[in-house]
Amino acid sequence: MSPPHTVTVKILDKEYQVACPEEQEAELVVSAKYLDKQMRNIRDSGKVIGLERIAVMAALNISYELLQASEQSNQEQPPAAVDSAGMDRLNRKLDDALYQLRQLEIG
C-alpha cells in the first residue's frame, strides 16, 4: 500500500501537512488560501484575539457563505441537484483544519 499523498499548506504563516487525494490537491490549496485570507482579515480587524477563536470565526463565516450559496442553489435548481458530497468534503476539511490548529495550541 502506498503512503497517503500529503500537501503542505500555509495558514497564518504556519505550515500544515494535510492528507489529500492527488486529484483534489488543487482544490485543497485553493481552500487553504481562502481560509488563510479569511483568518488574516479577522486577525487584522483586531476584534478577535487568539488563533483558535480566529479559526472558529473564520469557520463560521465560511459556513454561512456555504449555506447562503446552497440556499441560492436550491432556489435555482431542484433539491436533487445539490452536491452534498462536495459540502461533506468541505466540512471534513474545515474539521481537519480546526483539529490541526487545536493540536498546535495544545502542543
Q: For residue range 67-93, what is the model confidence (pLDDT) as tens digits?
A: 988 888 777 655 554 566 777 777 777
Residue, of 98 and 56, whose pLDDT is higher: 56
C-alpha cell recorded at residue 67: 449555506
Q: What is the CATH number of domain 6-106?
A: 3.30.160.880
Domain boundaries, the chain: 6-106
- 27-53: b or e for each residue (b if 16 or more CB lie within 10 Å)? ebbebbeebbebbeebbeeeebeebee
Q: Pick the residue with more confidence: 4 or 58?
A: 58
